[in-house]
Chain A
Amino acid sequence: MSTVESAGVVDTVGRAQATPDEPQPFAELGLREDEYQRIRDVLGRRPTQAELAMYSIMWSEHCSYKSSRVHFSQFAEKSPKTDRLLAGIGQNAGVVRVSDDLAVSFKVESHNHPSFVEPHQGAATGIGGIVRDILAMGARPVAVMDPLRFGEASHPDTARVLPGVVAGISQYGNSLGLPNIGGEVVFDPCYQGNPLVNALCVGVLPVSRLQNMAASGVGNVVVLLGAKTGRDGIGGVSVLASATFGDDAGAARPSVQVGDPFIEKLLIESCLEMYDAGLITGIQDLGGAGLTCALSETAAAAGLGMRVALERVPLREASMLPHEILASESQERMLLIVEPSKLDEVLAVARKWGVLATAIGEVMPPAADTGPRLIVDWHGATVVDCPPGSLADDGPVYRRPMRPPADRDLVAVDRAETLPRPADAEELKATLLRMAGSPNLCDKTWVTEQYDRYVRGNTVLAQPEDAGVIRLSEESGLGIALSTDGNGRYAKLDPYAGAQLALAEAYRNVAVTGANPIAITNCLNFGSPEDPEVMWSFGEAVRGLADGSAALGIPVTGGNVSFYNQTGMVPIHPTPVVGVLGVLDDVSRRLSSGFANDGDRILLLGETRPELSGSEWAWQEHRHLGGTPPEVNLVAEQALASVLRRAAEVELFSGAHDLSDGGLAQALLESVLRHGVGARVRLPDGLDDFVWLFSESTARAIVTVPRGHEAAVRALCEENDVPWQPLGIVDSKMDGLDVDGLFSVSVEEMREAWQPTLPALFDRSATPAT
C-alpha cells in the first residue's frame, strides 16, 4: 500500500502537480522506466495514482499488444478482400455477413493464467468475457466452444486443473443457456504449469443491429450496466496475463475475477432488448482492464472527451479507492452510450430484467487547446485528466528481437519416419488400441457431457463431430459450422507450417460438414515475447496464418494473443489455435461422421504420404518429437472442400470424417464407434500398411457413399483433382472393424480401449443413493 492510500489522501491532479517528485511504484505495476517517463511527457506532470494504474494496465502486453502489433499489419495486407466482412480486427469481435439480412460475430480468446491459478473461476470468466465481446457487437450469443490444453493426463496437478476448468465452463456456459458445440481436449507435458483455456463464442445478429463502441454525440450519457464493482480481478491483465509465473502463483489468486452467470444472462437479455428498441448509441463490454479500458476505448473511438463522476459507480465495497474502481475487472458489466432522451427507457429495460444501470458520466467535446480529454472526478476532485487516445491507441510498440531456435536443424533431421514400427499385424492392432486409449485420442465424453449441447434447440451437430453446426433460421435452414484446431507439436517443429496446419485442419473440419468456410479467428498462445526464440516462432506463426488466409481466400476477422505462457524459463510449445467459420445454406444437408448404412462404400479422399514426424503415433508410442510436420497443401484442402460441399449439396455422401491426429486408424475406429456399426476394409497398395493407418498427411477425409452414387463421386473427385481410394464397405453384420489380411477388432475391444481413460483419471462420483 502506498503512502498516499494509507494516509487516506486521494491523489488528485492538483496534488500530482504540487508533488512532482513523489516516488511512484511504476515498476511494481509492470511499467518500464522509459514507459513511465513517456506517461509524464504525455501528461506534462507526474500521473496521479489513478492515472498510473490506468496507464499500467492499458500499456500492458495484454491490452496494448505492444510486442505483437508490428506483426499484425500482415493480416490487413494479405487478407483477401470480401464484402462479407462488416467488422474486423480492432473491434470487440469480427462480424461477417452470412445472408442478405443476417450476420455472425465470432471470436476466440484465452483465459490461461487465471485458469491455472483458480481453475473453476478462471475458466468460467473466460466464457463470460468472450460472450460479452460478442454481445457488444449487437449479436445474440448462440454457442460456445472450448479448446483446452492441459499437462500430462496422469500428473496430480492435472487432476486439480482439468476438473475445475471443465466445471467452470459447464457452470457458466450452461447457466447462460449457450450450447457448447465443440472444442479440443489435448494433453502435453509442456502445458503442465501453464494450461491453455481458450474460449470461443459465436453470435447472430440482423445486419441492421450491428453496434459499435464509439462514444459519439457530445452530451450523450455514459451508463454502467450490470454487476456492482468489487475488488476482484484488479491487475488481471497486468499481473496475470502479462507476466510469467514464478513459484508463487497462488499469491495471484485475488487477481482472478469471480463470475456470476445469472447476472450475465440478464445482461444479455437486457442489452438485446435495448438494441432492438434502438436505445443504444455505443456499447463496450468491461473485460480486461475494466472501466479504464471501456472509458478510454469508447472515447478514443469517437475522438471525443468524456467526464465521469466515479463516486456514482455502484460498489460492492464502499471503501474502494478511485484507482481500484478504475482497474477492477469485476465481471458482468457493460458500458453504454445513450442519448439523454432515451435514458429513461434504458433504465426501464434494466429494471425489468433486474439489472443495475447507473448514469456515471457524459460525452464531452474536445478541449480547444488540448483536444479530447478523459476526466474522472471523485467526489468533486479530479483524479484523472488525460487524452483517451494516449491510453487506448498510443501505447508502446516494440519490435522485439527474434532468433530461430539454436537446435532447429538438429530437430529437423531427427525424423519420426525412422523410428521402429509395429512388426506385424498383431502389433498393428495392439498399436491401434493403445493409441485409441491414449489421453489425446480417447473418448472425451467425460468432459463434453458436462456441457449442455441442446439448449436453444438449434444444435445440428456438436462434439464428437468434426465441427459444430448451428441452425440460424428455422424457415430457410441457413446455418453455420465452426471448428477450432491447433497442434502445438507441429508448431514446435515449424511454427509457420504449424499455424497453417491448424488453419487447414479447422478449414477441413468445417468442410466435412458440407459447409463453405468463410472466415478465420485465432488465439495465439506463446511463451515470453522477451525470449527471442519465442518471438521468432510468434512472427513465423503470424506470417503462416496471414499467408494461409490469403491462399484460402478467407479473411482473419480478429483474435487474441496470449504471451508469457511458460514456467520459469521454459515456454509452452507455440500453440496457435485457429477457428474457422463456415456457412451452410441448408443445414438439413449437413454431413455427419460415422458408419450408419449397410452397404455404403467407404472412400479415402486425398493423398497419403509417409508423414509421421510430430504425429500422435510418434508421441504416444515413442515420446518422440522431431523432424518436419506434414506437408501443408492449401490447394488440396480447397479441392477437398469443394468436393465435400458439392457432394453434400446433391446428397452424394451419407457421411464424412476428417483425418487428423492418429490418422486413418483413429478415423476408422471413431466411425465404427459413432453408431456401433461395423465395416470391412482393405488397405490400398503402394504404401506400407502402417503408413496407411498412422500417417497424418493432410487434406484427407473418409466418406461413405450409398450404392449407386459411386460413379458420380468418382467424376466429382476427378473434376476437382482430388485423389481417392476405395477402402471398403459398411457392414452391420461385422462386429467392429475387419482390416482384410491383417486383423479384426470388435466393437467391445474398441470401447474397452477408448472409453475408460478419462473417467479412470478424473471421476469422483459420490456413493450412489439407495
Chain B
Amino acid sequence: MSPRIGVVTFPGSLDDVDAARAVRLAGATPVSLWHDDSALRGVNAVILPGGFSYGDYLRCGAIARFSAVMETVVDAARGGLPVLGICNGFQILCESHLLPGALTRNRELHFRNRDQALEIGNTGTAWTGAFTPGQRIVVPVKNGEGCFVADTATLDALEAENRVVARYVEGNPNGSQRDIAGICNEAGNVVGMMPHPEHAVERLTGPSTDGLGVFTSVLAHLGATTV
C-alpha cells in the first residue's frame, strides 16, 4: 500500500489541490485533512499547502496556528512525523514555532510570481533526499510576504547546523536574508519553503518537473517503493 500523505485544507487554502496532485504523481495517496478536525486519519506525512489561511488576517499563518488540526500536527511533528509547509504552510510552521524566523513583506512591496532558480542545501531531510547537495532546480515562487528574516544568531545557527534546505540563486525574489528559500528543524522531519515544488511536477503546466523530487523524497524517507 502506498503511503498516505495528508494535505490540510484551511479556510483560504488554495494550493491544496496542487499538493494533492503532486502527492499522487509521486506515487502516494493524498488524504484530505480539515482544519477544524484534529484527526490525522492515519497519515504518514502532512503537507500544509499554500494559500491565505483564514484570510491571513492579523499575520500570515497566525490564526491557522491555533486550528484544531495544527495542535495534532505540532505534536506529531515533535514526534518525528514528516511535515512540509509550502509558502503559507511555511508561514504557519514559523508561527507554530516548529521552525525559527518569520516571513515578512517582500522587499518589492508587492506579490511576485516567477520561475525561480534554487540551490538545494541539506539533502538529509525527509523532503530533500532525492536531490544532491548543490543541485540547481527551477520551481515557481509566488508570494507577497516571503522575505525570510531572523536574528543573526539564528541565521548563523541555521547555516552552521546545515539547516538551510534551499537558497535563491540567480536573483533573490523577495529580499530574504542570506537568500534563504527553505529551512528545516533540527531533526530534519519538518521542512518549510516559500517556493512551490507542487507547481513543478508536470512538463505541461510547470517550468520543470524538478519539484517532484520533494514528494518522491518523502516516499523514500518513509521506506516505500517509489515510481
Contact = CB atoms under 8 A, between A and B. Distances in A.
Interface stretch (A170-178, A518-526, A657-665, A740-748): A170-178
A460 B113 contact: no
Contacts of A170: 110-111, 144
B199 to A, nearest CB: 4
Interface string B131-170: 0000000001010100101000000000000000000000
Contacts of A451: 111, 113
Given A457-B198, A457-B201, 20 more contacts: A174-B142, A174-B144, A175-B12, A262-B12, A262-B56, A263-B55, A353-B11, A354-B11, A452-B111, A454-B140, A454-B142, A455-B18, A456-B18, A457-B17, A457-B199, A471-B204, A587-B204, A764-B109, A768-B175, A769-B176
B193 to A, nearest CB: 15
How many A residues touch the partner, as a band? Answer: 35 or more
Given A175-B52, A454-B196, A770-B177, A763 B108 contact: yes
A131 to B, nearest CB: 14
Contacts of B21: 457, 474
A765 B108 contact: yes
Contacts of A449: 111-114
B25 to A, nearest CB: 10
A272 interface: no
Interface in A685-707: none
Interface string A148-175: 0000000000000001001100110011
A458 B107 contact: no
Interface in B48-76: 50-52, 54-57
B78 interface: no
Interface string B74-104: 0000000000000000000000000000001
Given A175-B52, A177-B51, A460-B204, A167 B110 contact: yes
29 contacts: A167-B110, A170-B110, A170-B111, A170-B144, A171-B144, A174-B111, A175-B14, A177-B14, A177-B51, A262-B12, A262-B52, A262-B56, A265-B11, A354-B11, A450-B111, A452-B113, A452-B142, A454-B196, A454-B206, A455-B14, A455-B15, A456-B18, A457-B198, A460-B204, A765-B107, A767-B107, A768-B107, A769-B149, A769-B175
Contact of A766 (B55, B105, B144, B206): B105
A474 B57 CA distance: 34
A99 interface: no
B113 A265 contact: no
Contacts of A176: 14
B108 A177 contact: no
B67 to A, nearest CB: 12
A444 interface: no
A179 B53 CA distance: 18
Contacts of A163: 110
A455 B201 CA distance: 13
Interface residues of B, number: 40
Contacts of B52: 174-175, 261-262, 265
Contacts of A458: 205
A262 B110 contact: no
Interface in B113-135: 113-114
Interface string A437-456: 00000000000111111111
A266 interface: yes
Given A455-B14, A457-B198, A458-B205, A262 B147 contact: no
A260 interface: yes
Interface in B177-200: 177, 196, 198-199
A82 interface: no
A457 B149 contact: no
8 interchain residue pairs of minimum CB distance: A262-B55, A177-B14, A454-B199, A457-B18, A170-B111, A450-B111, A175-B52, A769-B175
